[in-house]
Amino acid sequence: MTTLEFRIPISPSAGFFSSVRLIAVSLAQMGPPYSLARILVSVGDCADISQVRRENPWADDYPMEWRIVPHDLFEAARYFATGRDRYLENARADVVVMCDADTCPVDRFDMLLQMLCGEEPKIAGLQAHYAPFPGSAAENEATWRKLLTSAGLSHHEPLTRRYSMDPDVGMGWAPPYFNYGFVAFNRYSFERIAPIVHKYTLHALGFLDEAFFTAQVGLTLAIAGAQIPTLPLDHAYNCANDERVFSTGLRSEEDIKIIHYLRADEFDRRTFLSDPAEFEAFLNTPKRNRVNERLRQHVLKLHDRFVGRSFA
């Protein structure tokens, strides 16, 4: 049986803790290997491990480990500290999934695990929705080439991927540039990426005008530098709660494996699981957005796993 682990970066807040709890409960009801998967949570903001454990006694029921980001690393890296911390411990599983806290597994993804099997390094992810650079398609492509050249990678990674919410390629072509909400590595790719990804992230930081997409761009450079084959995923494996997914490749909400609830049109992702009133409203109000409704139906099936029908 393929072994699996999830690595999740968070800040020590009620909203993040409740989101991680949803991931844990969701995996638990999916059966092996998902229910057995190690859940390694990197907690930033110079958190205190004793306080984290006191606030989250429910975690003892799951294969969850709290990993406090070293304070010196957090002070030095800040924005990138929790993400960087996820790469500092060696893989213990056949497949390592890097995912955001605002993701929720709603169905098994056995086929993906099979695709990642074998001793050849492989990384699977959904191409990011949009270009990280401003300007026209030609300007976007020119920026990618300039960045790859500046990192010494111009001969390693052609621009062959379209952005996942740009079916007409109006934003131009790009290298594999994954949305970090859900990226799956087999052990061999993780071992090659982990030692170099921070170096390339710092290179991207020095190149870009803002830090928001730097980690994703840094991963792109690391993949090119390590020359690792990539498996492009569709929206089913990293499904934004955005109706545009249905016009850019997703056939049905029943195909969804992982929901990435990053849009705030119908609920606040930061508080809907931790505030009792918001949680009740979320459960009791059918959603117009089909992905949100898929998430609501999923949570409805799990609500009895939480004390007092609340994630707090």
Confidence of residue 306 (pLDDT cuts 50, 70, 90): low
CA atoms within 13 A on the CB side of 222: 25
Q: How many domains does the chain have?
A: 1
Task: List, for residues 99-144, the tens digit of each pLDDT value.
Answer: 999 999 999 999 999 999 998 999 999 999 999 998 999 999 999 9
What pLDDT is recorded for position 309?
Answer: 43
Domain encompassing residue 185: 4-309
What pLDDT is recorded for position 304?
Answer: 74
* Greatest C-alpha distance within the chain: 57
In order of 53, 70, 125, 168, 197, the CA distances from 88 in angstroms are: 22, 11, 21, 39, 11
What pLDDT is recorded for position 40?
Answer: 98
Task: List, for residues 263-277, the tens digit of each pLDDT value.
Answer: 999 999 999 999 999
What is the DSSP secondary structure assignment for residue 174, as one 8-state letter?
B
Average pLDDT value over all residues in the chain: 93
What pLDDT is recorded for position 92?
Answer: 95
Comparing 38-42, 76-80, 88-92, 284-288, the range with the smallest average pLDDT is 76-80
**CA–CA distance, 238 with 230 (Å, rounded to integer):** 16
**CA–CA distance, 73 with 80 (Å, rounded to integer):** 9
What pLDDT is recorded for position 158?
Answer: 85
Question: With 70 as the cut, is the pLDDT of residue 296 above it?
Answer: yes
Confidence of residue 310 (pLDDT cuts 50, 70, 90): very low
* pLDDT over 90 percentage in the chain: 87
Phi, psi of 151 (to 5 degrees): -95, 5
Whichever domain contains 182, its CATH number is 3.90.550.10
Is residue 213 within 8 A of residue 106, CB to CB? The reply is no
Phi, psi of 4 (to 5 degrees): -145, 140
